[in-house]
């Protein structure tokens, strides 16, 4: 690999990783808020919440990767042009393909990463996320132990806690048990914790008392304890078998679903759409790379044209991906619409390659170009006015 190729790939990789991290973090935060009830109403700790929601990161990476690549290439190609490096390459007899080669090498690496995520890692993570959500919904603490409320677990057994700390400790614990025919028990403890031991679920209470009161006649007896274990095994609800959606199934399961799978029988169209979407999504990495290069890969001289070309590249990429999302939403079992999932990114690849080979720069349609030029002129005028107002003498009073 030549020095120039390594230089371009290194710069693109750095910007890509930074952009991918930032975009994925923002998207993950917005998606994680949808599972916020795991911390609030479901009683899970913050660490458990983060661990569960991180399982969706591979799926988010598949969506974000083409856009991160687009932004990285736009920044790098604009920097190469702004620093006159493209001009030097052109002046020394170098062709556009000298720059296109490292761009496509890096795009191919992102394509391979995106394909592995889309076909294997992302569905595996989403499947594990479904398992964790099912487990949480069957968790005793998530369903019956809620701070500040009296929760009747079953007839004759009531829980109350003052607070639940971040590490899962139950503070201000009260447990009233009248299931025994002859005696009512009331447990009070400063704190407690639910643990798993010897295949049993135990509520271990610390520093409290047990009040025994006969239901018929007799005096109340109070026993103090430093540690006491209350068996909860019979109260734990069984976690049902999770029903995996199309996006949560392995690629092999989409290709050959089980004959006994009721979801697959009822939603075969969703499984087919998901399969073709997984295969077609990585193609946007190649398509975006070629479209950006078709707009910005040639030598240019004016700042205004640079802004218009950048806008054109972004508009084309976003338009293609939006069309892909739309085709996926309406595809169903229609073979024609399923073909669109491949036709949209492939058409971007073909048109961009045609433009690059013919040495023609892609541009915005004439009406959009005029509108963009007018907007650019207004921004420049506004910037000039602000500069004059905030100048050395303009800001004095």
Residue 282 has pLDDT above 90, yes or no: yes
Closest CA to 105 of 195, 6, 35, 219: 6
C-alpha separations of 210 from 172, 176, 223 in Å = 14, 10, 5
- CA 186, CA 204: separation in Å to the nearest integer? 15
Handedness of CA 56, 62, 67, 73 (dihedral sign): positive
Average of pLDDT values for 82-102?
A: 75
Q: Of 128-132, 207-211, 267-271, where does the model show the most confidence?
A: 207-211
Q: For residue 168, what is the DSSP state?
A: S
Altogether, the residues listed in the chain come to a count of 397
Read off the pLDDT band of 263 (50, 70, 90).
confident
C-alpha separations of 238 from 7, 136, 264 in Å = 57, 11, 24
Enumerate the H helices of 256-334 as residue ranges.
262-266, 268-280, 283-296, 303-330
Q: What is the pLDDT of residue 34?
A: 67
DSSP 3-state of 206: strand
Rounded to a whole number, what is the largest CA-CA distance in the chain? 106
Say if CB 287 and CB 266 are below 8 A apart.
no
Handedness of CA 321, 327, 333, 335 (dihedral sign): negative
Residue 394 has pLDDT above 60, yes or no: no
Domain residue limits, the chain: 3-137+244-386, 145-235
Q: What is the pLDDT of residue 362?
A: 56
pTM, entire model = 0.68
Q: What is the DSSP string of 211-263?
A: EEEESSS---EEEEEEEEEEE-GGGPPPPPPP---GGGS-HHHHHS--TT-HH
C-alpha separations of 56 from 67, 94, 396 in Å = 18, 44, 54
- CA 19, CA 99: separation in Å to the nearest integer? 21
Average of pLDDT values for 307-322?
A: 89
Q: For residue 158, what is the DSSP state?
A: E
Residues 230-255: pLDDT tens digits? 887 766 555 456 778 888 888 888 88
Look at the block and give the residue holding tokens 């650019």: 376
What residues have CB less than 8 Å from 135, skipping those under 6 apart?
239
- CA 306, CA 68: separation in Å to the nearest integer? 20
Between 382 and 306, residue with greater pLDDT: 306
- CA 96, CA 38: separation in Å to the nearest integer? 52
- Tell me the two tokens of residue 249: 């199934």
- Tell me the two tokens of residue 96: 């556009």
- CA 284, CA 70: separation in Å to the nearest integer? 10
Exposure string over 39-65, b if 16+ CB within 10 A, otherwise e: beebbbeeebbeebbebbbbbbbbbbb
């Amino acid at each position: 690999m030549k020095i120039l190729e390594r230089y371009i790939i290194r710069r693109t990789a750095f910007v890509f990783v930074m952009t991918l991290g930032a975009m994925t973090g923002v998207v993950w935060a917005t998606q994680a808020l949808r599972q916020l009830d795991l911390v609030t109403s479901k009683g899970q700790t913050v660490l458990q919440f983060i661990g569960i929601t991180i399982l969706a990161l591979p799926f988010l990476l598949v969506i974000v990767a083409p856009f991160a690549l687009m932004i990285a290439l736009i920044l790098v190609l604009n920097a190469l042009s702004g620093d006159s490096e493209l001009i030097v390459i052109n002046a020394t007899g170098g062709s556009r393909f000298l720059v296109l080669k490292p761009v496509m090498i890096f795009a191919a690496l992102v394509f391979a990463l995106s394909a592995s995520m889309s076909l294997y890692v992302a569905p595996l993570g989403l499947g594990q996320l479904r398992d964790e959500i099912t487990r949480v919904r069957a968790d005793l603490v998530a369903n019956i132990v809620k701070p500040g409320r009296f929760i009747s677990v079953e007839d004759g057994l009531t829980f109350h806690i003052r607070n639940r700390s971040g590490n899962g400790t139950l503070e201000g614990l009260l447990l009233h048990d009248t299931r025994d025919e002859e005696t009512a028990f009331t447990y009070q403890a400063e704190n407690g914790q639910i643990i798993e031991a010897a295949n049993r679920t135990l509520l271990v209470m610390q520093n409290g008392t047990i009040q025994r009161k006969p239901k018929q006649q007799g005096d109340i007896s109070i026993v103090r304890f430093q540690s006491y274990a209350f068996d909860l095994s019979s109260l734990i609800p069984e976690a049902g078998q999770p029903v995996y959606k199309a996006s949560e199934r392995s690629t092999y399961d989409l290709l050959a679903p089980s004959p006994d799978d009721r979801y697959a029988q009822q939603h075969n169209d969703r499984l087919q759409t998901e399969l073709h979407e997984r295969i077609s999504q990585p193609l946007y990495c190649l398509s975006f790379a070629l479209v950006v290069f078709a707009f910005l890969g040639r030598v240019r001289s004016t700042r205004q044209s640079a802004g218009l070309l950048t806008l054109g590249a972004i508009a084309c990429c976003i338009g293609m991906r939006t069309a892909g999302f739309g085709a996926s939403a309406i595809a169903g079992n229609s073979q024609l619409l399923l073909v669109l999932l491949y036709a949209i990114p492939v058409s971007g690849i073909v048109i961009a390659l045609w433009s690059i080979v013919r040495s023609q720069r892609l541009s915005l349609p004439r009406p959009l170009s005029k509108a963009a030029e007018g907007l650019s002129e207004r921004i420049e005028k506004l910037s000039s006015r602000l500069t004059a107002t905030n100048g050395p003498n303009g800001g004095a009073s």
